[in-house]
Amino acid sequence: MLRPLVALFITVAILPLLLSCNSSDTVVIATVGDYHPFDFINDDGEIDGLERDLGDELCQRAGLECEWILHEWETLILELIEDQFDVIIAGMSITAERDELIDFAGPYYPPRPSMYLARTGAGDQALEGTLGTTANTIFSDYLTEQGIAFTPLEGAVDAASAVLAGDVDAVLVDHGYGVAKLAEHAGQLEAVGPSLRLDQGLGIGIRTGSDLLDTFNDALDSMKADGTLNQLIRKWLGADAATFE
């Protein structure tokens, strides 16, 4: 898996050159590639997951030619604003703070409470041990604001794997990721402690003022209406994932 990731990071490094060579009709979608099962790099070195399927379907319905790139999480919003790419589909929660900076199409995953994951049998006492969560996220922001000590997990570190490896006792994660990992590691992980409503669901980040906002919202509405979006959610996240009525 190392070599495909390196290749994709090289792609990111030469992004300005790639953009200058692209047709103006090409929509460039940025994701992170390390948030399984939403977005990840498969064995063929390609971006895969729920968000890849979602984005490709949205582009097809909207009649858009789209190109995917891998990008670092920490600078996604800044470089979207700076016109380095056109769209973010990267497990990004819709929050009031982010909504002041960019627009969001969606949500494409309904707002549901975030959750703590721990090893099966640990119970709520796991929250008294070492907590972990992904750095530079709404989860790390929440724990910091609450004055709760935690171990920051870099983006490439899978939160559920950190629990299973014993690196941390519990992790704070979003609902969709949580239910997917509970299904993937059935009997090994459990939800513990309180659930927390921290966001307004997962959305598609779009530069303020871009015509793509209406384009992607219209395509997303059509996927909700015909049930395609719910099918994709269940395919990648499992039967316990939240879906749209």
Every domain of the chain and the residues it spans = 2-111+200-237, 114-196
Average pLDDT (132-161) is 93
pLDDT digits (tens, 9 = 90+) for 49-76: 999 999 999 999 999 999 999 999 999 9
CA distance 188 to 219: 38
182: left (phi over 0), alpha (psi -120 to 50) or beta: alpha
Distances (CA, A) of 53 to 128, 162, 223: 39, 27, 12
Q: What band does 194 get if pLDDT is binned at 50, 70 and 90?
A: very high
Assigned token pair, 1: 């898996």
Q: In the numeric block, which tokens belong to residue 141?
A: 């922001």
Q: Which CATH architecture has domain 114-196?
A: 3-Layer(aba) Sandwich (3.40)
Over residues 100-128, mean pLDDT? 97
Which fold, 2-111+200-237? Answer: D-Maltodextrin-Binding Protein; domain 2 (3.40.190)
User: Is residue 2 over pLDDT 90?
Assistant: no
The structure's pTM equals 0.86
* CA atoms of 207 and 145, how far apart (whole Å): 28
Is pLDDT above 80 for 103?
yes
How sure is the predictor about 7, in pLDDT bands with cuts at 50, 70 and 90? Answer: very low
